[in-house]
């Protein structure tokens, strides 16, 4: 299962592009700042998001919810990353 590492940023950042062949995604946040995730092609913000993850929290997306574009933004720029694991 491939893992994509995305450095924390305070601007809308693509965590994964859309992929209709993806069956699941696991997103983990190791940054001390909260990661806000949007399951949409729109711009994510700290007030417009699908769910958020604190430090060392993770989320699993299955089926159709894992296939669209996934965007992220952190509450503040820290030294951490999002680790995004995919399965086709």
Provide φ and ψ at 17, rounded to 5°: -75, 165
Q: Which residue has the tokens 């030294």?
A: 79
Question: Residue 70 is encoded by which pair of tokens?
Answer: 């996934």
Under a CB-based contact definition with an 8 Å cutoff, are residues 80 and 31 in contact?
Answer: yes
Under a CB-based contact definition with an 8 Å cutoff, are residues 44 and 37 in contact?
Answer: yes
Residues 41-70 pLDDT 10s:
899 999 999 999 999 999 999 999 999 999
Residues 5-47 pLDDT 10s:
999 999 999 999 999 999 999 999 999 999 999 999 899 999 9
């Amino acid at each position: 299962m491939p893992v994509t590492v995305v450095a924390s940023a305070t601007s809308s950042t693509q965590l994964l592009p859309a992929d209709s062949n993806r069956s699941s995604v696991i997103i983990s946040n190791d940054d001390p700042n909260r990661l806000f995730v949007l399951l949409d092609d729109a711009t994510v913000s700290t007030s417009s998001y699908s769910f958020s993850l604190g430090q060392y929290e993770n989320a699993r997306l299955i089926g159709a919810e894992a296939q669209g574009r996934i965007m992220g933004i952190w509450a503040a720029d820290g030294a951490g990353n999002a680790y995004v694991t995919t399965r086709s």
